[in-house]
Structure 1
Amino acid sequence: MNALVQSLAALGGLRDRDALDTELVRLVLTNSGVNLQAANLIRVVGEGDDRRCLSLSALEQGQEKPSRDLLWSDWSLLPKVSDFPVRQRALEIGRAAANPQDLGHVVLPVGQAQSLQIMLEVSSPKPLQAADIDLLQSILLAYQNLLGLLDYGERDSLTELLNRKTFDGAFFKATADQSNTLPANMPERRHESPDAGVWLAVLDIDHFKRVNDNFGHLIGDEVLLLVARLMRSNFRFHDQLYRFGGEEFVILMRCESAVHAESALERFRERVQAYVFPQVGTITVSMGVSVLSPNDTPSSAFGRADKAVYYAKEHGRNQVCNYQTLVAEGKLVEQVVDEMDVDLF
């Protein structure tokens, strides 16, 4: 019990989600006091019949380092929740579910029944008792509370998108993952395009000051909330969405090519333009995008996309502009990165 208490205390000091997921699985497997062979923390992505399983951290006894699916995993290669009856059952009932043929195989959902997105799957050589499941559920409650604290510090209070101060860490993780392939447990993975990479897009709501001036800040806040909601429904589960402040948003996404990146942004631009905002009517957005380059920094990548946004706003607004394309066409001068480039975020 002392080891469990110490491990729970150590969890409370973690501020990185990947590290928290890894240490939770390690704690459950080695210090919970429950005799387990394996543990897998799973994030549920997607909706309805197309919900899929993304492994956040998986560990077996004797395995030193946990494995995980990359955040940029191809959606179509992730296994469906419906392919795993015990996982499906746990999500449906909102509490622990066991395999009737193997009572040592249990899935425990994390969170409230209305918003279940994470579950812990454990395997034991012996049937798990009610006391074992209660203990694991208590550990998951502590984990859930820690996630809530991280959300409080990492999310914009108005839109609940990621906030600006979390951007640097996510940026460097994204660039580090650029050269990685999907895990070996996905042998049928598709061959990735040589043009694949990570793109950073900056989004600015056109004439947003007029909205605040003409309708008031409460309506302006409603517009920001609705734009954020459209962003969440338009982009993929692994695209990282930020509000940088005011009417400025940032999207960090992995795409097969510049064409795919621009197409995704163009679809969103069209969707915003077609949406009828209460009292305000039509709103448009201008966007600039830039591919991340080797040894890039957050400030230099943001600066390139931001220049493309300014170009879009100065040349008609309501459009998507690619920084590299503008440079190639001679419409912008290539941004020179100073070796002493300072990160201002």
Structure 2
Amino acid sequence: MKPILQNLVEMTGHRDHLRLEVSVLSTLLKLGHIVQVRALEFFVQDQVTMLRPRSWSQDGQIVSSAHDACSDPQGVPLTQLPGLAQCIESRQASAQHSATGRHTLWLPVWLADRAHACLEITQSRALTRHQRDVVMGVFLVYQNYQSLLDYSERDALTGLFNRKTFEEQFARQAGARPDAAQGDDPPRQWLAVIDIDHFKAVNDRFGHLYGDEVLILVANRLRSLFRSQDRIFRFGGEEFVVLLRSVTLAQARQALERLRAAIQEHTFPQVGHITISIGFAATQAGSPVEILGRADQALYHAKENGRNRVCFYDDLLHSGALQAKVAHDEVELF
């Protein structure tokens, strides 16, 4: 029992979801008779729920995938694991499957009323009552700590990621940037900055209660119109940021124009109709400060030229509407 307690202490010392995941898999791997442990990630592709291994045991060590979920060839439809699919649909705490010499236990990880991942434990023998109790105890500590980490990363009003998590998420996406792709419009990563037009007037006229409701409803539209592998942040006030993963420029434009039109057409309680302005830039070249600055420049151009528009930084640069700013290493993002 002492080694397990030591592992739990180490596990709860992490402040990063991936490191915490690796730590809990390492803890479970030491429990005996375990053939393999994996952390499976759920994502949606072409309206089909998929899953893929995000971290797993290999030669007694835990390794993690460097691929984005949306492009990982290891992704398979959830329907290929009917026991797990039924567990998720009926919101059960666990599911099991036994075959000759292999016994698998699935433990879905629920955050914000949604199963976003699953721990998979495969043993050479069926779990005893005692083993199951130990595994469930370790898992519940892990899930509770995941929830605490998730809460610290979220904006209290909208439930979106908050600004302090942006740098970590952006760095992780930048670290997975693909090699130069061929073609006129290859899939890339994009950063979009979104600002509600005349939001101060909404607060002044209708009060902050209705202003907060507008922010919540805009956040809900962002969730519904972007994919699970994209990342959405509230930067504070009426500003939002979206990291779009592995889409072409045409697809990025289409997604952002769809958002702009959806907000324009939506009727907000008491307030009526509002609009948003959007600026976006590619992320494959430059530091986070530079890339965010480019998207901000495009946003300000949209707001200064009529609002309710989507502007792409490179378009403005090539047309002469903007000029590239000189980057300085000493600039820091606050």
Would you say same fold, with TM above 0.5? yes
The AA in structure 2 aligned to 1:67 is S
**1 CA distance for matches of 2:144 and 2:237?**
29
The AA in structure 1 aligned to 2:49 is R
* Percent of matched pairs sharing the same residue: 36
Q: Show structure 2 runs of 5+ residues with no match.
A: none
**1 CA distance for matches of 2:251 and 2:112?**
36
Q: Show structure 1 runs of 5+ residues with no match.
A: 182-189
Is 1:343 the equivalent of 2:332?
Answer: yes
Is 1:326 the equivalent of 2:316?
Answer: yes
CA RMSD of aligned residues (A): 2.5
**1:1-345 alignment, distance < 5 Å:** 1-30=1-30, 33-46=31-44, 50-60=48-58, 62-68=59-65, 70-74=67-71, 78-93=75-90, 94-101=92-99, 104-111=103-110, 114-179=113-178, 195-294=186-285, 296-338=286-328, 340-345=329-334
- Which has more strand, going by share of residues? 2
Indicate conservation of the 8 Å contact 2:66/2:176, yes or no. no
What CA deviation, in whole Å up to 9, does each residue of 1:135-162 have, x standing for no partner?
Answer: 2121111111111111222111111111
**1 CA distance for matches of 2:142 and 2:160?**
21
What CA deviation, in whole Å up to 9, does each residue of 1:247-272 have, x standing for no partner?
Answer: 00111112332222111111111111
Q: Provide closer, same or farther for how the CA distance between residues 194 and 136 of structure 1 changes in structure 2, counting only shifts above 3 A.
A: farther
Q: How many residues align?
A: 332
TM-score by length of 2: 0.91
User: How far 1:82 moved relative to its partner?
Assistant: 1.1
Indicate conservation of the 8 Å contact 1:21/1:56, yes or no. no
**2 CA distance for matches of 1:191 and 1:78?**
24
**2 CA distance for matches of 1:255 and 1:52?**
17
User: How far 1:77 moved relative to its partner?
Assistant: 6.9
What CA deviation, in whole Å up to 9, does each residue of 1:208-243 have, x standing for no partner?
Answer: 111101110010001000111111111111111111
User: How far 1:51 moved relative to its partner?
Assistant: 1.9
TM-score by length of 1: 0.89
Q: Provide closer, same or farther for how the CA distance between residues 126 and 72 of structure 1 changes in structure 2, counting only shifts above 3 A.
A: closer
Q: Provide closer, same or farther for how the CA distance between residues 281 and 224 of structure 1 changes in structure 2, counting only shifts above 3 A.
A: same
Indicate conservation of the 8 Å contact 2:43/2:69, yes or no. no
**1 CA distance for matches of 2:182 and 2:109?**
34
Indicate conservation of the 8 Å contact 1:211/1:280, yes or no. yes
